[in-house]
Structure 1
Amino acid sequence: MKSKLTLAAVILAFITINFAFAQQQDKSTRPSPADSVHATTSDGVHITIHYSKPSLKGRQLGVDIAKIGEVWRTGANEITTIEFDKDVLVQGKALPKGKYGLWTIPGETESTIIFSKKWQGWGVGYSDKEDQLRVPAQSTTGNPMVEQFNISVDPAGVINLAWGDIILPISVRAAN
């Protein structure tokens, strides 16, 4: 009888722990929900981006969040990932096909976009030793204001990072 009670307690504990873990993994309930972009450009590059969408919530972009001059994870939660199915030119610079962590150093008028070989894990602990490529991107101002960070890809191969009144267009095209 005692062994049956012990077994029941172990099973109940196991179920409770698994349920709690599953709740933590439910990304839809996070304040910065997960999103994905899947696009194929007019020159045949398939781009896949996985990221989380933080909101401004009254914070000032460049001051309170995504601070000017500091490395930012280009989203929230886990590292934002970007994957190309073929070798590409990003802002005219070569980047081999593969999966990368996407980081940004925001600037007043020009930001630095970083493609890191480290693409797994939480969005902290950035190291420039893992950089595969860095490219500049000129900021433009958009209208209307974008409260929740958004990434889109147009058919011409421009990845747009939009938040607040800032849009960072990043040109991507097939390398050959």
Structure 2
Amino acid sequence: MNSQKKNFLVLTVLFLLAMTSSVFAQDAPKPKASPAQTATGKVGAANISIAYSSPSVKGRKVWGELVPYGKAWRAGANEATTFTTDKDIMVQGKALKAGKYSLFMVPGEKEWQIIFNSQTGQWGTNRQGANFDPANNVLTVNVTPKKAAKMNEALAYNITPKGFSLLWENLEVPVAIK
């Protein structure tokens, strides 16, 4: 084999290797903008879990703009947030049977509605807004938001022996459970 053929063969192999590595590099998974999270804890004898996707503030004004006041919201990003309890509980003094529910919220400047809906597994929004049928609402309670102790860049849920809170931006939305 002459040197021209050897050089051509070496260059061809190097080119193919370079192309293969660039193709595989494009398939590397990118981190999600709103990663899936799960908060778990106990309230009395009940095991509670909240599964949600956690968006970040990223310099945006969240309440009243990104998440409008007066409109049902999926309480996270991507799929509808789910709330699961293995025991019957009292939420803000109202009964909620053990089970798995989609959790939606209607933010307001002074008061929020927290909605437990029996339909689960749906994407969180559709063209009309929050993706749920109000006929499947099992429980709706009102709560009062308050200023958070610190800025929370990423949306989070915290479950304590007294209930749960949504924490995002400079706001905390506590929900009492017994």
Identity in percent:
34
Match of 1:38 in 2: 40
Quote the Cα distance in structure 2 between the aligned partners of 1:48 and 1:134.
18
Give 4+ residue runs of structure 1 displaced > 2 Å after superposition.
none
- Partner SS state of residue 49, structure 1: strand
Q: Distance in 2 between matches of 1:53 and 1:65?
A: 14
User: What is the deviation of 1:62?
Assistant: 2.0
Structure of higher CA gyration radius: 2
Q: Is 1:126 aligned to 2:127, yes or no?
A: no
Deviations 1:102-147 (A, max 9, x none): 0000000110000001111210222211100000010110132111
**Structure 2 residue aligned with 1:115:** 116
Residue 174 of structure 2 corresponds to residue 169 of structure 1: yes
Residue 138, structure 1, aligned to residue 144, structure 2 = yes
Gaps of 5+ in 2: 1-26, 126-130
Task: Give the TM-score taking structure 2 as reference length.
Answer: 0.78
Alignment of 1:73 with 2:78, yes or no, is no
Which amino acid is 2:141 matched to? V
| 1:44 to partner: Cα distance | 1.1
SS in 2 for 1:29: coil
| Superposed CA offset, 1:71-105 (max 9, x none) | 10000011100101111100000111100000000
Q: Is 1:29 matched with 2:31?
A: yes
Correspondence for 2:99: 98
| Paired residue type of 1:35 | Q
Distance in 2, matches of 1:71 and 1:153, equals 22
Three-state SS of the structure 2 residue aligned to 1:101 is: strand
| Superposition CA RMSD, Å | 1.5
Tell whether 2:165 aligns with 1:160. Answer: yes
Report the Cα distance in structure 2 between the residues aligned to 1:163 and 1:109, rounded to whole angstroms.
16
SS of the residue 2:174 aligns to: strand
Distance, in Å, in 2 between the alignment partners of 1:92 and 1:63 is 28
- Structure 1 length as normaliser, TM-score? 0.79
Paired residue total = 146
In the alignment, the residues of structure 2 paired with residue 150 and residue 58 of structure 1 have an alpha-carbon distance, to the nearest angstrom, of: 17
The structural deviation recorded for 1:166 is 0.8
Distance 2:96 2:163 in 1: 15
Gaps of 5+ in 1: 1-22
Separation in 2 of the partners of 1:64 and 1:127?
24
Distance in 2 between the 1:135 and 1:63 partners? 20
